[in-house]
């Protein structure tokens, strides 16, 4: 029998609503109850929600939903095809002599869509159930451009069924918005308690929660019983506010919400990103050709994109996140400070959090550092140190000491001053004529060249000759991050310090990357009890919350600037947001958390665990070297393991591995052929396993392609 609608004309306004397609991992898993619960909860948020059942065989799901959701649509509109026998639709309708027409289903859906902000489409059975001929439920979900919500049983066996369906959905290009479990009301054993989490971690798909065993079906009771069990935010995030407000007579959610300020619809965001945003360190030609991954929120070690997909943050959002995303204490510190003041200038004024933080930083920094100068990013923190070192010697009359020495393959940031003391040709070569002259110190990379002693001897000889002209040496202590995670053996940093001391050259330690626990100690200098003249910090200083940087220095340097004003020896440098109170308040709380949660102590066993998990990569044919210092890891991919021959940089092998890792739910970012792992310090052992597993799978998947590059 075919349900006929009186009027299949699409009503005004024609603006399309968001469609979620609910598919089961099996038949009879509780899809109808899931529709009822989701519709009730989404309505509670303010959206108008309709339902649609394209084909129904046997049971009266459409009637049930119409009745309990109080829908005014004609039953024939909600469900255009009905067959009384409980069989697979393709068979049920064939036996009825009814030919199911897909265009008719789509047209009927359009009618419902024109009336609601959100339409929940209830499939029949699982994704691969045929509707007519070889046209499957999955085909319909794709053709109506729906986001998929997978409804799965709660008990034993659900991991396998859920993952199989998620994989198949992805293979078919469907967007999976979330998995919702259905509680049949049985006993809750260990499987029921732990499976949703396992599914979330293994699939990387948001778990919306569990539909409780409902006994009362009115909307209020459903909401009361489901509210704490189901999180509809991953679905809500996909719902589109229109680009312009509707007329005041329009019904529904967007009539009462303003225009597009809070748009989170993934396809629109992706389009606008390509249209308006220029990304750093990114060839935009490739970017606009690809699919941008748009992060909408974070939670612990995870990033969650605008489609609700979860990714383990394997690089701590560019080496900054310490205690994880949305750390309650940091959120609260930020809110508390926002309740007082967001910003006041440090030029001619001071502010409470900046003073408190400066004091605390001096307490935790290596001895000898007594003064704190604020800025707002790593590059400026290093530039400030360089300018201070240079001006110090000018101020005290040793005007020939102007040379700045730095390591040949160093990286200290992207402003012109820090580019001057950088040596990564790919980034810096083009600016060569714009930057100032420096003294480049060649050092080994520790993998292809290990002659550290020879390099240090050459440095010392140069210093013995030229020290009267050298103001400072700038180094990234112990780990040279951007150069490809180069790790120094013990003693190198100490020797640099001794040479500098002996010849009255300032030692500037750039701990922008290594600071705040990254190497297993609060600061890398601590490993060798080194006391630099300048210590630069940024990245982890706010736990990954806000841009803030500091340059710490000694009283000696400070005193070299304390003169009568008319001597013109003031340090004339300061950024608008210097010492920003919001950032300082969060940084202060971040440091307290290190102590309260014994972060460094607890990190030690995780560092060992990470080291043991990394071992499995050693056997892979293209993994040449695995370097680790604390929670800083570089996995170098090579064309030939024996000769250590690198892959040609144009092949973007590292980038391809990282792109692949996303398929396994992990975000990584390479440095050329070196895959960087820099997880948040708060990562759990299970998440470390996931991280390494994803990397292993990504490398394994890319190896055949690498061979082509080899070609």
Ligand X SMILES: Cc1ncc(COP(=O)(O)O)c(C=O)c1O
Distance CA 682, CA 691 (A): 14
Ramachandran angles phi, psi of 156, nearest 5°: -55, 140
Residue 249: CB atoms within 10 A of its CB come to: 7
Q: Are 446 and 486 in contact (CB under 8 A)?
A: yes
Of 524 and 593, which CB lies nearer to ligand X in the complex structure? 524
Q: Is 538 in the site for ligand X (CB under 6 A)?
A: yes
| 3-state SS assignment for residue 360 | helix
User: Could you give the string, one character per residue 546-565, with x where binding to ligand X holds by CB under 6 A and - elsewhere?
Assistant: --------------------
- The 3-class secondary structure across 137-153, one letter per residue, is HHHHHHHCCCEEEEEEE
Residue with tokens 């089961």: 24
Which of 136, 361, 443, 482 forms a contact with ligand X (CB under 6 A)? 482
Q: Is 524 in the site for ligand X (CB under 6 A)?
A: no
Select from 229-237, 411-419, 573-581, 666-674 the region that touches ligand X (CB under 6 A): 411-419
H helix intervals, 246-351: 253-256, 266-276, 284-289, 316-319, 328-338
User: Could you give the string, one character per residue 600-629, with x where binding to ligand X holds by CB under 6 A and - elsewhere?
Assistant: ------------------------------
CB 382 → ligand X: shortest distance, Å?
A: 6
Residue with tokens 């339409």: 119
Distance CA 84, CA 86 (A): 6
Q: Is 510 in the site for ligand X (CB under 6 A)?
A: yes
Task: Give Cβ neighbours of residue 549 (< 8 Å, ≥ 6 apart).
Answer: 374, 375, 376, 377, 378, 380, 381, 512, 536, 537, 538, 541
Q: Is 412 in the site for ligand X (CB under 6 A)?
A: yes
CB 422 → ligand X: shortest distance, Å?
A: 9
Of 57 and 379, which CB lies nearer to ligand X in the complex structure? 379
CB 547 → ligand X: shortest distance, Å?
A: 7
CB 290 → ligand X: shortest distance, Å?
A: 23
Q: Is 587 in the site for ligand X (CB under 6 A)?
A: no
Site for ligand X in 657-676 (CB under 6 A): none
Could you tell me which of 427, 521, 432 has the C-alpha nearest to residue 477?
A: 521
Of 97 and 280, which CB lies nearer to ligand X in the complex structure? 280
Of 486 and 557, which CB lies nearer to ligand X in the complex structure? 486
Q: Please, which residues bridge with residue 670 across strands?
A: 675
Residue with tokens 């004003």: 565
Angle between helices 581-596 and 328-338 (to 10 degrees): 150
Select from 148-156, 171-179, 509-517, 626-634 the region that touches ligand X (CB under 6 A): 509-517
Which of 292, 314, 413, 417 forms a contact with ligand X (CB under 6 A)? 413
Which of 481, 543, 544, 670 forms a contact with ligand X (CB under 6 A)? 481
Distance CA 236, CA 302 (A): 19
CB 412 → ligand X: shortest distance, Å?
A: 5
CB 416 → ligand X: shortest distance, Å?
A: 12
Of 403 and 413, which CB lies nearer to ligand X in the complex structure? 413
Q: Are 258 and 245 in contact (CB under 8 A)?
A: yes
Of 17 and 551, which CB lies nearer to ligand X in the complex structure? 551
Q: Is 382 in the site for ligand X (CB under 6 A)?
A: yes
Q: Is 56 in the site for ligand X (CB under 6 A)?
A: no
Select from 70-78, 338-346, 347-355, 475-483 the region that touches ligand X (CB under 6 A): 475-483
Select from 59-67, 126-134, 374-382, 698-706 the region that touches ligand X (CB under 6 A): 374-382
Q: Is 631 in the site for ligand X (CB under 6 A)?
A: no
The b/e string for 128-164 (b: 16+ C-beta within 10 A; e otherwise) is ebbbbeeebbbbbbbebebbbbbbbbbbeebbebbbe
- Strands (DSSP E) found in 169-254: 175-182, 207-211
Q: Is 377 in the site for ligand X (CB under 6 A)?
A: yes
Which of 118, 303, 334, 512 forms a contact with ligand X (CB under 6 A)? 512
Q: Which residue is nearest to ligand X (CB)?
A: 378
Of 579 and 651, which CB lies nearer to ligand X in the complex structure? 579
- CA angle (16, 19, 23) in 5-degree steps: 160
Select from 395-403, 405-413, 426-434, 668-676 the region that touches ligand X (CB under 6 A): 405-413
Sign of the dihedral through C-alpha 54, 55, 61, 67 = positive
Q: Is 420 in the site for ligand X (CB under 6 A)?
A: no
Select from 136-144, 508-516, 612-620, 638-646 the region that touches ligand X (CB under 6 A): 508-516
CB 519 → ligand X: shortest distance, Å?
A: 12
Select from 227-235, 376-384, 398-406, 685-693 the region that touches ligand X (CB under 6 A): 376-384
Of 17 and 519, which CB lies nearer to ligand X in the complex structure? 519
Task: Give Cβ neighbours of residue 300 (< 8 Å, ≥ 6 apart).
Answer: 324, 325, 326, 680, 682
- CA angle (18, 661, 633) in 5-degree steps: 135
Which of 203, 264, 351, 379 forms a contact with ligand X (CB under 6 A)? 379
Which of 52, 116, 411, 545 forms a contact with ligand X (CB under 6 A)? 411
CB 660 → ligand X: shortest distance, Å?
A: 24
Distance CA 605, CA 704 (A): 35
Could you tell me which of 463, 459, 458, 384 has the C-alpha nearest to residue 418?
A: 384
Select from 99-107, 406-414, 483-491, 500-508 the region that touches ligand X (CB under 6 A): 406-414
Q: Is 476 in the site for ligand X (CB under 6 A)?
A: yes
Own/partner contacts of 639-646, CB < 8 Å, gap of 24 or more, are: 639/706, 639/709, 639/710, 644/447, 644/448, 646/673
Q: Summarize as ranges the residues that interact with ligand X (CB under 6 A).
A: 377-379, 382, 411-413, 476, 481-482, 510, 512-513, 538
């Amino acid at each position: 029998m075919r349900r006929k609608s009186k009027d299949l004309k699409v009503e005004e306004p024609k603006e399309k609503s968001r469609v979620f397609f609910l598919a089961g991992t099996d038949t009879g898993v509780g899809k109808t109850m899931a529709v009822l619960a989701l519709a009730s909860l989404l309505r509670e948020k303010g959206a108008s929600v309709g339902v649609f059942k394209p084909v129904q065989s046997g049971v009266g799901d459409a009637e049930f939903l119409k009745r309990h959701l109080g829908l005014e649509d004609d039953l024939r509109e909600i469900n255009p095809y009905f067959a009384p026998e409980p069989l697979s639709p393709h068979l049920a309708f064939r036996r009825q002599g009814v030919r199911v027409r897909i265009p008719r289903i789509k047209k009927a859906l359009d009618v419902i869509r024109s009336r609601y902000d959100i339409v929940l489409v209830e499939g029949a059975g699982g994704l691969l159930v045929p509707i007519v001929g070889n046209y499957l439920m999955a085909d319909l979900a794709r053709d109506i451009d729906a986001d998929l919500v997978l409804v799965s049983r709660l008990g034993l066996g659900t991991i396998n069924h859920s993952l199989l369906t998620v994989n198949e959905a992805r293979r078919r290009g469907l967007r999976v918005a979330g998995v919702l479990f259905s509680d049949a009301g049985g006993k809750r054993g260990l499987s029921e308690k732990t499976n949703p989490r396992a599914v979330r971690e293994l699939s990387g798909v948001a778990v919306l929660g569990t539909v409780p065993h409902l006994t009362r079906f009115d909307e209020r009771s459903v909401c009361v019983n489901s509210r704490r069990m189901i999180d509809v935010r991953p679905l809500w995030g996909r719902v589109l506010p229109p680009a312009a407000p509707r007329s005041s007579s329009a019904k529904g959610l967007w009539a009462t919400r303003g225009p597009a300020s809070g748009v989170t619809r993934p396809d629109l965001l992706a389009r606008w990103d390509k249209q308006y945003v220029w990304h750093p360190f990114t060839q935009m030609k490739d970017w606009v050709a690809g699919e941008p991954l748009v992060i909408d929120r974070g939670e612990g070690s995870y990033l969650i994109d605008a489609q609700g997909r979860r990714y383990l943050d394997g690089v701590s959002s560019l080496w900054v996140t310490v205690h994880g995303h949305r750390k309650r204490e940091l959120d609260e510190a930020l809110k508390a400070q926002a309740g007082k003041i967001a910003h006041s200038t440090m030029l001619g004024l001071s502010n409470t959090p900046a003073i408190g933080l400066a004091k605390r930083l001096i307490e935790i920094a290596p001895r000898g550092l007594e003064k704190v100068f604020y800025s707002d990013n790593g590059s400026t923190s290093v530039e400030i140190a360089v300018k201070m070192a240079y001006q110090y010697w000018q101020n005290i009359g040793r005007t020939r000491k102007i040379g700045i020495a730095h390591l040949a393959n160093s990286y200290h940031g992207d402003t012109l001053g820090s580019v001057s003391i950088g040596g990564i040709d790919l980034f810096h070569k083009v600016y060569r004529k714009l930057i100032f002259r420096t003294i480049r110190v060649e050092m080994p990379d520790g993998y292809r060249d290990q002659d550290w002693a020879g390099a240090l001897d050459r440095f010392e000889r140069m210093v013995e000759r030229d020290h009267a002209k050298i103001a400072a040496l700038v180094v990234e202590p112990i780990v040279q991050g951007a150069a490809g995670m180069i790790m120094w053996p013990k003693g190198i940093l100490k020797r640099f310090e001794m040479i500098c001391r002996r010849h009255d050259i300032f030692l500037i330690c750039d701990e922008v990357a290594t600071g705040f626990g990254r190497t297993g100690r609060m600061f890398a200098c601590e490993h060798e009890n080194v006391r630099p003249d300048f210590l630069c910090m940024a990245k982890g200083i706010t736990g990954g919350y806000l841009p803030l940087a500091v340059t710490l220095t000694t009283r000696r340097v400070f005193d070299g600037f304390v003169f009568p004003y008319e001597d013109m020896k003031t340090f004339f440098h300061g950024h608008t947001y210097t010492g920003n109170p919001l950032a300082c308040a969060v940084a202060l709380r971040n440091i307290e958390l290190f102590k309260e949660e014994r972060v460094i102590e607890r990190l030690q066993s995780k560092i060992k665990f990470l080291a043991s998990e990394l071992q499995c990569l050693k056997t892979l044919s293209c993994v040449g070297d695995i370097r680790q210092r604390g929670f800083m890891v570089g996995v170098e991919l090579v064309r030939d393991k024996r000769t250590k021959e690198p892959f040609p940089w144009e092949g973007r092998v590292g980038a391809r591995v990282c792109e692949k890792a996303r398929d396994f739910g992990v975000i990584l970012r390479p440095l050329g052929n070196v895959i960087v792992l820099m997880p948040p310090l708060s990562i759990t052992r299970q998440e470390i396993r996931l991280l390494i597993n994803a990397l292993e799978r990504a490398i394994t998947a890319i190896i055949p392609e690498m061979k082509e590059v080899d070609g």
